[in-house]
Structure 1
Amino acid sequence: MRQWKGRQVILYHGNNGHTQKVRGTLEKWDDTRKYVILGPKMLAIPFENIAYITMLPPGRERRSRHPAKLNSIGYVMSVPIQFDNAIYFQSAVTVWKDDQLIAYNIKLASHTDHDVVLEDGQTLSKEEHLFVVRSLRGEL
C-alpha cells in the first residue's frame, strides 16, 4: 500500500459492522503505529478499522478550487505550542537575528525550552533569534 502514498483513494473503514467511506489523499502509511493518515483533513485511521482501500478512478480526482500557497502574513512564535505546530505541519519559518536574515522558508526539526533545531541541523537559541512562521492557505 505504500506505493499509493500521495495518491487519491477511497477508504472504507469502521467497526462493529458499521462501515464509512472516505475519500482523500493517502498522506502517510505507518507500519510502526499501525495507522494511515488520509488528507486533506489529516484523518488518522487505524489498520484494524480499515475494511477496503481502492484508488480513485482516473478523472475522478478532487481538484482544489483554492490551491495551497503561503500566507503573505507571518507571525512571531513565542510559546511552545506554536513551535510544536510549526514542526507538526511542516510550516515555512523565517529566522532573524536582530536585522540579519539567518534562514528563509526553512522547516523546524525540533525544539526545547531554549533552542530550536532547523531541518539543516543548525541549532539556534530562542532568546537570540526571532522565528516568524507563515501558514499555508488553501487546500493541498
Structure 2
Amino acid sequence: MRQWKGRQVILYHGNNGHTQKVRGTLEKWDDTRKCVILGPKMLAIPFENIAYISMLPPGRERRSRHPAKLNSFGYIMSVPLQFDNAIHFQSAVTVWQDDQLIAYNIKLVSHTDHDVVLEDGQTLSKEGHLFVVRSLRGEL
C-alpha cells in the first residue's frame, strides 16, 4: 500500500457492520499511529477500521473545481522569506525600476541580502528594483 502514497484512492472503512466510502489522496501510511492519512481533509483512519482500499482507475481522478491561475494583482516583495518562497514555489515575478518594466513573469533563481538573480542570468539589486510576485489561486 505504501506505493500508493500520493495517489487517489477509494477507502472503505467502518466498524460494527457499518461501512463508509471515502475518496481522497493517500497522504501518509503512519505505522506509529497505526492509521492512514487521507487528504485533502487529512482524515486519520485507523488500520483496524479499514475494510478495503482501491486505487482510482486512470482518468477518474478528482478534477479541481478551481484550476490554478495567476492572480490579477501582485504583492511587493520586501522581506527575505518572500524571496525564498518565490524561488521555492517558482512564482511569476515582475521586476520594475522606477516606472520601467525590466522583466515580466520571470522566475527567481537565487537571492542575497542585496541582489537577486533571475532565470535569464540577470543580477539585479534589491534596492534599485521593485519585485512584484503574483500568487496562484486555485488548486494545481
On whether the aligned pair clears a TM of 0.5, the verdict is: yes
Q: How far, CA to CA, are the matches of 1:111 and 1:75 in structure 2?
A: 17
* 47 and 98 in structure 1: CA distance in 2 versus 1, 3 angstrom threshold: farther
* Identical pairs, percent: 94
Normalising by structure 2, report the TM-score. 0.63
Query: Which of the pair has more CA radius of gyration?
Result: 2
Structure 1 window deviating more from structure 2 (2-11 vs 62-71): it is 2-11
Q: Distance in 1 between matches of 2:32 and 2:64?
A: 32
- 1:65 Cα deviation after fit: 0.2
SS at match of 2:86: helix
- Cα shift at 1:47: 20
Task: Point out 4+ residue stretches in structure 1 off by more than 2 angstroms.
Answer: 1-56
Give the Å deviation of 1:136: 0.2
Report deviation, 1:125.
Answer: 0.5
Conservation of the 8 A alpha-carbon contact between 1:40 and 1:139: no
Cα distance change, pair 126–30 in 1 and its aligned pair in 2 (3 A): farther
1:69·1:136 contact (CA, 8 Å) conserved in 2?
yes
Please report how far the alpha carbon of residue 59 of structure 1 lies from its aligned counterpart in structure 2 after TM superposition.
2.9
The whole-number CA distance in structure 2 between the counterparts of 1:87 and 1:121 is 14
Structure 1 unaligned spans of 5+: none
How far the C-alpha of 1:21 sits from its partner, in A, is 13
Structure 2 residue ranges without an equivalent (≥5): none
- Deviation, 1:57, is 1.3
SS at match of 2:113: coil
